[in-house]
Structure 1
Amino acid sequence: MLWSARFSSSDPTVTGPAQMKFFTPAEVSAHNTRDDLWVCVLGRVLDLTELAQKNKDEALLLPLLESAGKDISHWFDPETKDVCLFVDQVTQCRRYYTPRGRFVDVPPPGPRSDWACEHSTPWWRDQRYCIGLLSHKTRFIRVVNTLTGQEQRLEVCSEETLAAILDRYLPYNNHAHSYTWRHAGSDLDMGATLEENGIHDDDHLLHQLGLHDDALCPALLLHFTDDLS
């Protein structure tokens, strides 16, 4: 019998993508320590810092520490959303496939007195740790302040609305809300994505031509519209 039977087979309610924050791979990779540990699992970004602190003296934490800031989707079955399984050639029983070693919340291969069968929801099914989604495609843009001439290059998620991109830009301009955002002479819909605003991603064309992604970086122009609110 597979020991994971104690875990619920149904996934918790997942917040819709439109309500979730998107992250770039670079943002995830920056959180790669025991005190700040993120991973990606099947498109979700998980903040496991609390889990790491709770298990900081456990050997089972090591595989997660080694993979901090990385995408570990290959550890999991996309259909079951559970850890991948294999058939043990000796026992002919199904076991979890953990080539980097058993990690937190993965049960041992056999009965043990130090393992509680009534264990709570494993971290990969616990929605508490999910802080957003990993972008399927990122792109670079230039944000140009026409009032000051300041230009900032940003890596953004293709799924993000202009409002979310504005939030990314706020550290460079606290008054970004006081500007009208435009491209090619038209005001941008801040509730829509770049693509929906007609700012198409032409990276595939650049690749066909053998050019780097930086060869075409669309510019969003900020026009000052009111007092500093």
Structure 2
Amino acid sequence: MAKQLNYQTLREIFTRFHAADPAPVGELDHVNVYTLVVAVALSAQATDVGVNKATKELFKIADTPEKMLALGEEGLIEHIKTIGLFRNKAKNVIKLSRILVEDYGGEVPNSRAALVSLPGVGRKTANVVLNMWWRMPAQAVDTHIFRVGNRSGICPGKDVDAVERAIEDNIPADFQLHAHHWLILHGRYHCKARKPLCATCIIRDLCEFEEKNL
């Protein structure tokens, strides 16, 4: 685990991220906040590309909790059976859809506490939805962010909660909204798990990673 970078270094890192990609966006396809919740819930232990393939036709016919309930669990399984853990995920999507209809009038709540109470929705999923849909500076820490944060010193922590706190406590406030997207994309396409592309990394001179591949 690298040591926590100081404020000025972090400001320079995120200034570079912003210059390279001023408005980063998540890569999960969705048509409204409900389909965003479903897509993120389906993405656990699956790739965004795989989820997008599965939901392309699904969201044409089930883009509200009411329509999802009408489709039913077996109908949903037919659309998502290429995704890992599809049976359990289908159960959760149907359960959360029923709760949204019965308790929230079919609307997705914009409260983290309410979101995490839904089946299959953890803190990471809730933070993604709060950030992407309601533009709150919520930090959804995935494996990419955990790796990048600890390698570089941007947001080191022994677990995802510690990394989330490190982002909130140390990254300059004006970069908080897009912070987790920049870090996810950097981890996905540059600071890869097995072969990080250090030679072409835009923050290589600021990063604390001791095993830089130059």
* TM-score bin, normalised by smaller chain: under 0.3
**Higher strand proportion:** 1
State the TM-score, normalized to the length of structure 1. Answer: 0.26
State the TM-score, normalized to the length of structure 2. Answer: 0.27
**Higher helix proportion:** 2
Bigger Rg, which one: 1
Higher relative contact order (CA 8 A, sep 6+): 2
